[in-house]
Amino acid sequence: MHKVFKIFNRSIEKVGFLMSRQVKGLVLEACTALELWELLETLIVCGLVEHSCSSNLVHNLIENWRSNLICLCVKHLSDLQTLDVVSILKYFLSPCRGAYSSMLSVRKEWESQALLAMEKAMDKKLSGKKLSLAKEASVLLMAAHDEFSNSELCLHYLLASSNLDEVILSSCISKLNGSEMMGLIQYLGKWLKKYERFPQVGPCPKAPSMLGLKACEWVPTLEDIVKCLGLVVDEHFSSLVLHPEFHEELSSIEGLVNSLALEARLCCSMANLIETLRTEVRR
C-alpha cells in the first residue's frame, strides 16, 4: 500500500496540474479523511490547492494539529483569507498540547537549516562571495532559531510572509484575546533583542538559490517586526494597557527600540514607534 501511495505521490508531482478543480477537491478531502499527510504536503507545495478549498483545508489541519502542514500553507498558499490567517495566528500563539509534536518537526527543520549554514560557513571549498554569504546566513539562522519556542518558530512564517499586508495583519491582531496579545508582544520583544544583540543580522535573499538555505526566506526582518509592533501599539493596545504586565513589556520594548533607532535603520518608523510607546507607558 505504501508503494502505491508513493507512486501516486510522484504522479501528482509530475502531472497534478492536469487535474480538474473537482478532482483536486476530492483528493484533498480524501487526504484529510485518511490522514495521508505526505500526499497532502505534495498538493500544497505543488500549488494544487484551489482557493475555494483553502479555508476548509486550514480548518482541518488545525483540528488535526498538523503544524508543519499549516506552515506550508502559509508559505505556498497566496490566497489565504483573513479568517484563515486569524485562525493560524491564534493556533500558533495558544497551541494546545496535541500540537507540540508536529511543531517539533518545524523546529527540526530550522535546526537543520541552521546547522547546514554553519557547515557552509566553515567549508574550506567556499570562497569569496559564497563564503561571505554563508557566514551572514549562519548568523541570521542562528538568531532566528535560538531562544524561540517551537510555536514561535512557526510564527516566523506568518511575519515574514509577503502575502500578509498591514490591512490583514491589523485585522488579525484586533481579534486576539489578552493572553494571545501578550504572547505576540513577547515574541516581537524577543526579535528586538536579537536585532539589538546582532546588529549585523540582515536579509540574505541570495542564500536560498546560491547555498540551498531556504529558511533564510522566512526570517522576519526588522522592518517586519517594527511594522507588526507599530500596529499592535497604534491600533489595539489601548484596551490592554491598563494591565501591569503589559506596562512591563512596553517599558522593556521602549528601551530596545530606542537602542535600535540609534543605528539609523528605519529612523522614521522607529521614531514614531518610540513616541507611541512613551505615550502608552505613561498612561
- The per-residue pLDDT for 219 is 97
Whether this prediction's pTM lies above 0.95 is answered by: no
Domain residue extents for the chain: 81-97+158-199+219-282
- The per-residue pLDDT for 8 is 53
Distance between CA atoms of residues 72 and 89, nearest Å: 14
CA angle 45, 51, 53 (to 5 degrees): 85
* N-terminal to C-terminal alpha carbon distance within the chain: 64
Cβ neighbourhood burial of 143 (10 Å; 0-12, 13-18, 19+): buried
- The per-residue pLDDT for 1 is 45
Q: Who's near 33: CB < 8 A, 6+ residues apart?
A: none
Joined together, the cell numbers standing for residue 6 give 508513493
pLDDT, averaged in runs of 10, over the chain (283 residues): 53 58 75 84 85 85 94 92 94 89 94 96 88 95 96 97 88 89 91 89 92 96 87 68 68 71 55 58 51
- The per-residue pLDDT for 4 is 46
Q: Could you tell me the sign of the dihedral formed by the alpha carbons of 111, 112, 116, 119, in that order?
A: positive
- The per-residue pLDDT for 199 is 85
